[in-house]
A and B are shown apart, each in its own frame.
Chain A
Amino acid sequence: MDDAHDHADLDRHVRAALLVFGSLLVLTGFTVTAYFLHLPTRLAITLALLIAVVKGSLVAGWFMHLISEKRIIYWVLALTAALFFPLLLVPTFTALGKVALP
């Protein structure tokens, strides 16, 4: 890529980062507003985690450049996710009595 192309790419990246920044601020506002609405517990937990997942995806995708990363990074993260979710869910399901201990 030539320099002009590189700089155009970088400008686009910076503009996207600023847009993501604005979105993160708005979503933080939503999170706090949702808290003060005193929603039922299940709905409050679902909504708060949903907003957190969207915010986290924005940070990972644009600030950490995962939206356009090399394949090996995706493999590293796929392996991490494959280990992370059992780590999170197995103890939880055990505590809820949905997984029987031998």
Chain B
Amino acid sequence: MEIPYTVAVRPDTGLNNGKIGIWLFLASEVMLFGALFASYVMLRVGAESWPPGATYLSIPLAAFNTVVLISSSVTMVLAWASAVRRDFGRFRLFMGITILCGLVFLVVKYFEYTAKFHHGYFPSTNTFLAIYFTLTGLHGLHVVGGMAVNSWLWGPGARMWKVDPVHFTNRVENAGLFWHLVDLVWIFLFPVLYLL
């Protein structure tokens, strides 16, 4: 049985089902990170003292990672625009850069984490590090998830391009919406954890 409205627009919503599905998923993601941000605020407000982020964290590395994620968001837009224009070569180029940016972000995070472990800083060390590792760890998992989807669309999933380019382009758009949310979450994590 064929799944309805994967390409055609549903008359009642004005959208295809994939688009409404990804937005409902993103809404649940907002609540997930919202709960953790609320936990952060509560822990910070309730703490007798709170260390400045720079005590443990590297601001230049985090600023670099912010630029990397912002850049990956714009290359994702360019990948989607190339797919809409039916320019598969440019789609692959920009999606490839997006995946590479995600990889660079994770490599920097790996060096940040290992440096902390090396200095004996673990989630159990104090409340600040506990919430830092929880928030950035969960965000890192989202980067891994987004990269997995993007890599599928860049590689084996791109077979759909030949048989149903419109459906494929919709998938790229939905993957992009998730990737932008990952960027959006980092935009708040950077000042909250590193600078305040």
Select one of A20, A56, A71, A79 contacting B187, CB under 8 A: A56
Q: Say whether A67 faces chain B, with CB atoms less than 8 Å apart.
A: no
Interface size classification for chain B:
35 or more
Tell me whether B66 is interfacial, beta carbon within 8 Å: yes
What does the 1/0 interface line of B143-177 toward A look like (CB < 8 Å)? 00000000000000000000000000000000011
- B184 and A59 contacting across the interface, CB-CB below 8 Å: yes
- In the bound complex, how far is the Cα of B35 from the Cα of A48, in angstroms? 20
Asked, given contacts A13-B81, A92-B41, whether A84 binds B63 with beta carbons under 8 Å apart, the answer is no
When each residue 2-13 of chain A gets 1 if its CB lies under 8 Å from chain B and 0 otherwise, what string results?
000001001001
Task: Establish whether residues A59 and B67, one from each chain, have CB atoms under 8 Å apart when the complex forms.
Answer: no
Decide: A35 near B184, CB < 8 A? Known: A70-B15, A88-B34: no
Q: Does B133 contact A (CB under 8 A)?
A: no
Q: Judging by beta carbons under 8 Å apart, are B14 and A59 in contact?
A: no
Tell whether A59 pairs with B183 under 8 Å between CB atoms, given A10-B81, A73-B15, A84-B31.
yes
**A80 contacts the other chain (Cβ, under 8 Å)?**
yes
A24 (CB) vs chain B CBs: closest residue: B70
Given A35-B59, A72-B13, A72-B14, A55 and B196 contact (CB-CB distance below 8 Å):
no
Q: Return the CB mask of B74-87 against A: 1 if under 8 Å, else 0.
A: 10111001001100
In the complex the two chains form, is B85's CB within 8 Å of A45's CB?
no
Kindly name the residue among A7, A45, A83, A84 whose own CB sees the greatest number of chain B CB atoms within 10 A. A84
B35 and chain A: residue at smallest CB distance: A87
- Which of B24, B66, B81, B180 is the one whose CB lies under 8 Å from A64? B180
- Contact, CB under 8 Å: A51 / B35: no
Which residues of chain B come closer than 8 Å to A35, judged between CB atoms?
Answer: 59, 195
Nearest Cβ in chain B — how far from A58, in angstroms? 9
Min Cβ gap A12→B in Å is: 11
Instruction: Say yes or no: B63 contacts A32, CB within 8 Å.
Output: yes
Residues 10-34 of A at the B interface (beta carbon under 8 Å): 10, 13-14, 17-18, 20-21, 24-25, 28, 31-32, 34
Q: With contacts A14-B77, A59-B184, A94-B42 known, what are 13 further pairs, Cβ within 8 A?
A: A10-B81, A13-B77, A13-B81, A18-B74, A21-B71, A25-B70, A49-B192, A59-B180, A59-B183, A87-B34, A87-B35, A88-B41, A95-B42
A positions within 8 Å CB-CB of B: 7, 10, 13-14, 17-18, 20-21, 24-25, 28, 31-32, 34-35, 41, 44-45, 48-49, 51-52, 55-56, 59-60, 63-64, 70-73, 76-77, 79-80, 83-84, 87-88, 91-92, 94-96
Interface residues, chain B, CB within 8 Å of chain A? 13-15, 19-20, 23-24, 27, 30-31, 34-35, 37-39, 41-42, 45-46, 59, 63, 66-67, 70-71, 73-74, 76-78, 81, 84-85, 176-177, 180-181, 183-184, 187-188, 190-192, 195-196
